[in-house]
Amino acid sequence: MGRWLVTESRGITRWIAGILDEISSLQNDKGGEILEKCGRECAARGELLKGALETRRRARDKDDRDALFQAFKRNVYNTPNLSKEGEVITLVFEHCTCPLVEAGVDNPALCACTVGYTKAVFEALFERTVAVELEQTILRAAPVCVQRIRVIY
């Protein structure tokens, strides 16, 4: 039975990789839009989004983005890899944390999924639309992933 699971897992991994190849070949960044929605769905099941919502709920001044960010960092995402300078939030990953990558799917199209995940978390925290720029990613041969997050007024 264990052998079947390993074989089935490899088959699923190849199947997902094929789907990602097709999605990433769509015109006009439609593939990126699809994967961003997938990332938002992934975030909806995660602890970071719940933490962002709880941080916002507890905040005295829900318009003070600096205080919201500091509370989120202190209580939910306590790592030196999350920082804020002025209006720009920087998030650095030293390894890819995507469960699909951990399962063996290493398609750079998944980075668009991460954009959706990050947007969902920070839009919940600030209750504002955010822009996420992927400065570099591990799946695109960089040593680390770097995201720049900006609140859109």
Give the CATH number for residue 46. Answer: 3.30.1380.20
CA-to-CA separations, 98 to 36, 38, 55, 74, 88, in angstroms, rounded: 13, 12, 24, 23, 23
pLDDT of residue 24: 87
pLDDT of residue 85: 95
Residue 147 bridge partners (DSSP): 91, 134
| 3-state helix vs strand vs coil in the chain, percent to 5 | 55, 15, 30
Domain boundaries, position 73: 2-151
Task: Decide which of 11 and 125 is more confident.
Answer: 125
| 0.95 surpassed by pTM | no
pLDDT of residue 8: 59
Instruction: Order across the sheet with 82-85: list the strands.
Output: 82-85, 88-93, 145-151, 130-136
Cα angle 95, 101, 103 (rounded to 5 degrees) comes to: 125
The span from the CA of 106 to the CA of 150, in Å, is 27
The share of the chain scoring above pLDDT 90, in percent, equals: 74
User: What are 44-73's pLDDT values in tens digits?
Assistant: 999 999 999 999 999 999 999 999 999 999
How many domains is the chain partitioned into structurally? 1
